[in-house]
Amino acid sequence: MTEVGLTPSQTTGPYLEIGLLGGPIPSHLVDASDPLAIRITGVLLDGAGDPVPDGMIEIWQANPAGRYAHPADDREAVPLDGGFSGFGRSGTTDGGRYELVTVKPGRVPWVDGRMQAPHLLVGVFARGLLKRVATRMYFPDEDAANAEDPVLLGLEPDARATLVARAEDGGLRFDIVLQGAGQTTFFAL
Amino acid sequence: MRPETAFTRVPDSALVAGDPPLLYPEYVGTRLRAPKDPLVVLPHSLSELTGPVFGDGRLDETDADLTRQHSGQPLGERIILTGRVLGSDGKPLRGQLVEIWQANAAGRYRHAVDTHDAPLDPNFTGCGRCLTDDDGTYRFVTVLPGAYPWGNHPNAWRPKHIHFSLFGRAFPERLVTQMYFPGDPLFPFDPIFNSIPDEQARQRLVSQFELELTEPDWALGFRWDIVLGGREATPLEEPHDD
């Protein structure tokens, strides 16, 4: 089933901070003073409802015009923003809390040409996760776009609800529940 | 919202081939952290066909030489660690960011949570980064990490390992893993290594000693190649009409 010879995954363990945080990959994808900047915070929780203090959240997204900074997105009619990489990461603290500062991405097409609602791809790593788990974050002020998003439409309401952030303190709050009641919807990519 | 054709959901266990399962109770940390709901199989839109691209300019030479990041040299056996990052088609992946972290030669991480009673080394941080060259090759200079005890079960010890972080060509290819050293006597007792169900897949995490890679009178040499591809790209059935 799996292609022969892929290198298997292993957990980050509890010390990922040494190698993965504080390096060239930022938690602030834009400066917090940017007029479009959005602060996204949340808590990573385990199956007992306890915070996960040794995890890491990564995000991948298009720019505000809806273009990915990657050669596979060759839609030249949609402008690239040279300074925006679209990728960032944050560790989780003692309270399981992470914080990212970014901009809302534009809409990008689905496999059949319909437009997806603005969203972030989200990867979660931690001690106790033998491989990354992947989800998506959607925006609470995009009711019309969310209502026609092909991914959200393909999910049951409870599963869909776990993917939409909520407004809090002038930013967005997006908690991620690894296990148990209210588990976040995770995707096989 | 009007319900649409639902996506296929597959239990994680149906996706396990080379990778470990999310839930592996012998590794106690998975018990409360492994998601248990079946995963939603998504077709790949532009969001999943893209991923971060890294350019030169944010790394310097000492990022890849963990023995030259302080005023003095770290203790331990100096090693050269190199290999290629390849796609599942065998083609080299150029300009790939490779991030590593590890314990020092005594088996201690420079981290507040590591309370193992072994000495820190003032000349060793244990963090390295580099970009692969046109041949997909990465190369680090570091020291052989020590084995260390952990609290998973009585008298639990981790085999010597170095953590690796890789990106691949698109978001689904992202991989964080651990590289091991050949012949480690702790392999049979380590639930993290043994969480990988397939013996051949496990062996793909073990580097090889290569005499040709050594630098005489200076360092031992180990080789480890990495193959990246979609981790869970094969659904059991067509999830969606395109």
Domain containing residue B221: CATH number: 2.60.130.10
The reported pLDDT for the residue numbered B237 is 41
pLDDT digits (tens, 9 = 90+) for A58-93: 999 999 999 999 999 999 999 998 889 999 999 999
Element (H, E) at B98: strand B97-101
Q: Is B120 on the interface with A (CB under 8 A)?
A: no
Dist. CA B141–CA B82, nearest whole Å: 9
Q: What is the DSSP-derived secondary structure letter of residue B200? A: H
Dist. CA A129–CA B32, nearest whole Å: 10
Close Cβ partners of A179 (under 8 Å, ≥ 6 residues apart):
A46, A47, B32, B33, B34, B35, B36
Q: Is B101 on the interface with A (CB under 8 A)?
A: yes
**B10, part of any domain:** no
Please judge whether A128 and B34 are an interchain contact, meaning their C-beta atoms are less than 8 angstroms apart: yes
Of A5, A69, A111, the CB nearest to B45: A111
Calculate what percentage of chain A has a pLDDT beyond 90.
94
Q: Which residue on chain B is closest to A147 by alpha carbon?
A: B1
Residue B228: CB atoms within 10 A of its CB come to 22
Q: What's chain B's average pLDDT?
A: 92
Dist. CA A180–CA B151, nearest whole Å: 24
Tell the residue number behind the tokens 């909520």, with chain if given.
A166
**B55, part of any domain:** yes
Q: Is B109 on the interface with A (CB under 8 A)?
A: yes
Q: Which of B148, B112, B143, B149 is nearest to B127 (CA)?
A: B143
pLDDT digits (tens, 9 = 90+) for A172-184: 999 999 999 999 9
Dist. CA A157–CA B231, nearest whole Å: 27
pLDDT digits (tens, 9 = 90+) for B49-88: 999 999 876 788 899 999 999 999 999 999 999 999 999 9
Domain spanning A16-177 has what CATH number? Answer: 2.60.130.10
**B127, part of any domain:** yes
Measured torsion, CA atoms of residues A19, A24, A29, A32, in degrees rounded to the nearest 10: 100
Question: Do the beta carbons of residue B162 and residue B79 sit within 8 Å?
Answer: no
**B68, part of any domain:** yes
Calculate what percentage of chain B has a pLDDT beyond 70.
91
The reported pLDDT for the residue numbered B16 is 62
**B133, part of any domain:** yes
Helix, strand or coil, per DSSP, at residue A160: helix
Both structure tokens of B127: 């963090």
Q: Which residue on chain A is closest to B124 by alpha carbon?
A: A18
- Count of structural domains, chain B: 1
**B222, part of any domain:** yes
Both structure tokens of B12: 């994680």
Dist. CA A85–CA A128, nearest whole Å: 29
**B145, part of any domain:** yes
pLDDT (tens, 9 = 90+) of chain B, 242 residues, equals 444 568 989 998 777 678 999 999 999 999 999 999 999 999 999 999 999 999 876 788 899 999 999 999 999 999 999 999 999 999 999 999 999 999 999 999 999 999 999 999 999 999 999 999 999 999 999 999 999 999 999 999 999 999 999 999 999 999 999 999 999 999 999 999 999 999 999 999 999 999 999 999 999 999 999 999 975 444 434 444 43
User: Looking at chain A, which runs of residues are DSSP E strands?
Assistant: 38-45, 55-60, 87-91, 97-102, 119-126, 133-138, 166-168, 171-173, 176-177, 187-188
The reported pLDDT for the residue numbered A135 is 98
Q: What are the sequence ranges of the domains in chain A?
A: 16-177
Dist. CA A171–CA A37, nearest whole Å: 9
Compute the Cα dihedral for A153, A154, A155, A157 and give only its sign: positive
pTM for the structure as a whole: 0.95
Domain that holds residue B182: 51-228
The reported pLDDT for the residue numbered B242 is 38
Dist. CA A121–CA A144, nearest whole Å: 20
Please judge whether A60 and B101 are an interchain contact, meaning their C-beta atoms are less than 8 angstroms apart: no
Dist. CA A47–CA B155, nearest whole Å: 26
Measured torsion, CA atoms of residues B187, B193, B199, B203, in degrees rounded to the nearest 10: -80
Q: Which amino acid is at B161?
A: H
Residue A63: CB atoms within 10 A of its CB come to 22
Please judge whether A133 and B24 are an interchain contact, meaning their C-beta atoms are less than 8 angstroms apart: no
Q: What's chain A's average pLDDT?
A: 96
